[in-house]
Structures are given as C-alpha cells and as structure tokens.
Amino acid sequence: MPEPIEQKTETPPLPVELQKAHDGFLRYMALERERSEHTLRAYGSDIANLYAYAIPRGATTLAGLDLTLLRAWLMTLQESGLARATLARRSATIRSFLTWAVRENFIATNPAIRLKSPKREQRLPHILQNNQIERIFQPLPEAPGSPDAKTPEQSREQLALADRDKLILELLYATAIRVGELVSLDITDIDLDRRTLRVIGKGNKERTVPFGQPALNAVDDWMRRARPVLRTDDSGRALLLGRRGKRLDARQARQVVSDALAALGDTAARGPHALRHTAATHLLDRGADLRAVQEILGHSSLATTQLYTHVSVERLKDSYQKAHPRA
C-alpha cells in the first residue's frame, strides 16, 4: 500500500495591522533599545500568545485589544497554572508594546496602563555556605589522568578542560557576573595588572568588575597552559573555549556549574546564578556598600540589589536563633 501523504498545517497569516505592529515593535526594541536576541524572542512569544487569544475573539486590530480582553487573557493564563513571574513578564511586555503603539499612532490610548498582574514571588535564592565555596574549588579527583584518556593528547585535553572549568567557577564567584557576560569575554577584556574585567551587560552597558588573587591564579593557569591546548583557528579572541576550540557557549558553562554544585551533595543551589547570588550576599555580609554591590552586579535599579540585603538579614536571624541563649 502506498504510504499516506503527510498533511501539513500552515499557520494562517496575521491581520496586516497586527503583523506590522509586531514586527515594528521588535525592530524598535532591537535597534533603538538594543535588547538581546533572547529578550526579543520573549517579547515576540508574549505578543504572539496575546494574538492567539485575541484573534479568535474578533480582535483583528490593535484597537480591539481593550482592557476587558486583556484582563480575560491574563485570567486565562493564570487559570492554566502559569507561574507568577511569567504572568508578570507577559503583562509588562504588552504594556510596553501598546505604549509603543500609541507613540506610533496605531492606537489613541494604551488600555494596558490599567492592567494589573500578579506580583512576582520574592523567592530568596539559595546561598552557598563558606565551607561549600571552599569545597567547590577543590579539583575533582577523577579530573586529571582520567581513565578515559587513552592517548597523551586526550590527557592534555582533559587537563585543559579541568583548568577551564575551574576558571568558570572562580570568575563567576569572584565577579558575580552573569553566565552570558562570562562567555562573551575576550582576552582583551581582562586587565591582569589591575585585576579587573571589562563586562558588557544588559542593554549593552559596560562596567568594570574587580576580582581577587584566586581568580587571577586561575586565569594565569588557563592562559599559560590550558587555552593553547584547545585553541584553533576558530578561537579568535574568546577567553573561554569549548572542546573544539570555539567560543564556549552559555549552555556548556551552565552545565559545568550545575555539575559542580550537584557534586557538593548538600545544597539545593543550582546553576550559575547561585554563584552570583552567593557572591553578592557574601559581599554584603562582610560590609560592602550596597551601591558598590549594585555596580558590580550591573543592576540598573538599587531595588533589585536590595534583595540581597533581605538574604543577609535572614542569615543573621538564623545565626541569632542558633546562638543566642534566649532566642
């Protein structure tokens, strides 16, 4: 019997005005607001989700996206079990989108100004203790001379990757930078004499972040004996390299951190942000100025940095409860 022909389902085109507004907003955010590709994908997904709800209900122009429809859309998302953070992001996207639409004369007023969304849950991040930080930087016993290394070349590669993984951990904790900022670093972004990094953060904003002697030692080991092992013609100026010599991507860096945290066995902390949270909290615990920590983290708002003061207070209360005889 002949095989059945697969039926392809095509997504119907959007109404002209909705498509034009969608494309124009993303172009504005990319060119004038310099948003990252990741952020642009999130914006596009949020707008597409609203359109998918609105069009079957007869809203084929931006004027049809009134407050009643927007509230019903958010209620539907909430009832589907969507996380509060996602609900908050989607409503914020639509407010920005329709504000832009007013400015571009697609609509006269922005109905989303009165749109309320659930507040984000203020979850205190998992923080590593001092002894856990010390342990995470201890080399794994199986890393050097792994039995999987069948040739001298493979052995050298494994040693180089071990140095690279240590550098990932050292820099993330020493500088509290984001993993995307880490993998974007070039060799020329490091000032070894001043022990600083030049970091390009969100919104293409540049900042200078200091680091300490342990991180400097890790950089030296990597540059002197490890990076040359992995370097190829495709390496360019990238500081961190993958096994094949190209710039390390964020997914690989996240996996390195996740594996290291999982190996501790006594923490719920996971991923690079755990090291960022830990570094910020440890700085504040030891008396660092809040605005200095804000600058190191690259936060545009001091309110975002203040989350870590709550973490520090919780740690203080925990110590008090354990130590004070009349707690």
Which residues are known catalytic residues?
178, 202, 273, 276, 299, 308
Q: Residue 60: which of 15, 96, 7 has the closest Cα?
A: 15
Tell me which residue of 23, 8, 116, 22 sits closest to 71, measured CA to CA.
Answer: 116
- Neighbouring residues of 274: CB distance < 8 A, sequence distance ≥ 6: 125, 126, 127, 128, 257, 261, 267
DSSP string covering 24-51, please? Answer: HHHHHHHHTS---HHHHHHHHHHHHHHH
Q: Is the distance from CB of 248 to CB of 154 less than 8 angstroms?
A: no
Residue 24: partners with Cβ closer than 8 Å, 6 or more residues away: 100, 104
How is residue 115 annotated by DSSP?
Answer: -
Burial class (CB in 10 A: 0-12, 13-18, 19+), 264: middle
Q: Which residue has the tokens 């409503």?
A: 91
